[in-house]
Structure 1
Amino acid sequence: MANFNLDVTLEKALEEFSKKIPEDMAWKTGAEYRDGSFYLEFMTQPIQVSYPEGVVTNKNSGKELGLVDRILVLHYFIHAGGSPLLNKNISFKELPGGSIYIEPFTNRCIRPLIHLFGNDLSLFQKAAEKCGGTREKYGDMSYCFYPFPRIPVTLVLWAGDEEFPPNANILFDASAGDYLPTEDYAFLGGMLAGKLIACQGTVL
């Protein structure tokens, strides 16, 4: 999903989405399907996805989501295989072909987390809880989020000290490859980091 090719990516996604059986997509994604639309949560906001048009709107405001958000939602519907969670966390590099995208993933997702929260875990805690995260047991502090119903994403932070600089990681369930292309997880991780940064601004 290269930035310079988003319109083509959307066109292809819409074509694939319109050809799939809506009832199959509903159970595989965990969405509700009724009256020609899917209903689910995306990044903690309730959304509606029309079928077969593939228009994605915020259910509360009625506003259409942006281009990248729309593509991610459509890709979720297209690629979701319905696999159960494996309850085993893996890193981005362990996703299929993850090593190819590790540099943009690190720049877009990991470094902003380290920069803002690496030396202030209490701020990370406040922002994560305000954004709906669930406390986990990894690193010095970690929180799990569900940007899609069947995609848990765990943000992990290690505080810096005199010997080591702060560090961060983002973990995915081992079933993640059955729900989105690996490249999309770089976008999704960046969106989660951005959401936390926005929440951080409201808890200062």
Structure 2
Amino acid sequence: MASAMKVTYLSDKQQFIVPFFNENYIVDCNTQSICHAANGTVPGIGALILILHYLTFFETRAEPVHKWVSLKEIPNGGMLFYPAFHKESICGLIKAFGHQSSLLLECAKRIGGQQAGFGDASAVFQAFPQIPLCAVIWEGDEEVSANATILFDPSIEHYLHIESVIGLGGYLATKLIKLAAPESRRGHDVW
């Protein structure tokens, strides 16, 4: 499992070290706990679930294909769940970054995002070692509405079930939106 998921397994401690959005988390099989490797804090329930699902869902070895698709193109329900995903995640990105796309890049850097070449601003994130995500913003003006999307590598279907794919996209959107909040930009974390 560690090899396929590109995580570290410490057999003497029965621990997995799982990179998640540019930070390492320790999944301890003995204590049945997950904590941040650097400071020992326990992540929120959403992160806990995503980390566990990443370790346990693996279906077949698949490398990222370095192609981007919408949630609608992910098999087993992407099209079905897209309207709710758009409402819960994409609309928040549009509101936070739709008239200030450069802010996306500023926020993305704080969680390991690298500038990409899509839209008015975009960034690629390494959510997990085998799962990249891309957030894209198109600025709006008087004539054209702002827009946004989160793109996935199609190989994600081999690493997470559709509910977790949606959860991961939502997790990224929420992190970016919180980082865009004025109080966060002044240096205070809001979560």
- Deviation of 1:32 (Å): 0.4
In 1, Cα distance between equivalents of 2:48 and 2:149: 26
* Mean Cα deviation higher: 62-71 or 165-174: 62-71
Give yes or no for the alignment of 1:82 onto 2:80.
no
The 8 Å contact of residues 18 and 51 in structure 2, kept in 1 or not, is answered as no
| The structure with more helix, counted as a fraction of residues | 1
Give yes or no for the alignment of 1:28 onto 2:4.
yes
Alignment-mate amino acid for residue 86 of structure 1 = V
| Residue correspondence of structure 1 range 1-204 to structure 2 within 5 A | 25-34=1-10, 35=12, 36-51=14-29, 54-80=32-58, 81-96=60-75, 97-201=77-181, 202-203=184-185
- Deviation of 1:54 (Å): 4.2
**Cα RMSD for the two superposed structures:** 1.6
Aligned length: 180
Percent pairwise identity:
36
- Deviation of 1:131 (Å): 2.4
Q: What corresponds to 1:14 in structure 2?
A: none
- Deviation of 1:196 (Å): 1.2
1:183-202 residue CA offsets vs partner (Å, 9 max, x unmatched): 11221112111211232233
- The secondary structure found in structure 2 opposite 1:100 is helix
What TM-score, normalized by structure 2, do the two folds share? 0.87
Alignment-mate amino acid for residue 93 of structure 1 = K
1:11-35 residue CA offsets vs partner (Å, 9 max, x unmatched): xxxxxxxxxxxxxx10111100012
- The secondary structure found in structure 2 opposite 1:104 is helix
- Deviation of 1:203 (Å): 2.9
Runs of 5+ consecutive residues of structure 2 not aligned to the other structure: 187-191
In 1, Cα distance between equivalents of 2:122 and 2:102: 11
1:60-101 residue CA offsets vs partner (Å, 9 max, x unmatched): 222333333222111111122331111111100101120121
- Deviation of 1:138 (Å): 1.2
- The secondary structure found in structure 2 opposite 1:90 is coil
- Deviation of 1:53 (Å): 5.7
Alignment-mate amino acid for residue 62 of structure 2 = S
What TM-score, normalized by structure 1, do the two folds share? 0.82
In 1, Cα distance between equivalents of 2:56 and 2:128: 13
Following TM superposition, the consecutive aligned residue runs of length 4 or more in structure 1 with deviations greater than 6 angstroms are none
In 1, Cα distance between equivalents of 2:123 and 2:47: 22
- The secondary structure found in structure 2 opposite 1:88 is coil
Alignment-mate amino acid for residue 162 of structure 1 = E
* Mean Cα deviation higher: 25-34 or 54-63: 54-63
Alignment-mate amino acid for residue 27 of structure 1 = S
Runs of 5+ consecutive residues of structure 1 not aligned to the other structure: 1-24
